Amino acid sequence: VQADGTDGNCVTFVLHDEDHTLGNALRYMVMKNPDVEFCGYCITHPSESKINFRIQTRGALPAVEPFRKGLNDLMGVCQHVLNTFEVRLFLKSS
């Protein structure tokens, strides 16, 4: 991950080896934060596997904070889905 931006509350993160799968899910999680004014991403080019992920916050909150929170929240959701799947799979096979 690279971060480009002169202002701490408006930063573009470059995520390498990623695509719409992470971009859209992460955008959804970050936008749930009321301190985020704008969040969006774009694929730089179809032949490149990287996305530009931009976050702009309200006030003095650094953009890296909702970025980290979004990633952590997304990991939590994914872990919950995996745990639920494994429990259902175990119950079905028993």
Please report, for the chain, the start and end positions of each structural domain, with discontinuous segments joined by +: 10-93
Give the CATH number of domain 10-93; options: 3.30.1360.10, 3.30.9.10, 3.40.190.10, 3.30.1330.10. Answer: 3.30.1360.10
The percent of residues above 70 in pLDDT, for the chain, comes to: 93
Higher-scoring residue by pLDDT: 78, 1: 78
**DSSP of 22-34, one letter per residue?**
HHHHHHHHHHTST
37 in Cβ contact with 56 (< 8 Å): yes
Structure pTM? 0.86
Q: What would the pLDDT profile of 45-82 be if each residue is shown by its tens digit?
A: 989 999 999 999 998 899 999 999 999 999 999 999 99
SS (H, E, C) 9-24: CEEEEEEECCCHHHHH
12 in Cβ contact with 3 (< 8 Å): yes
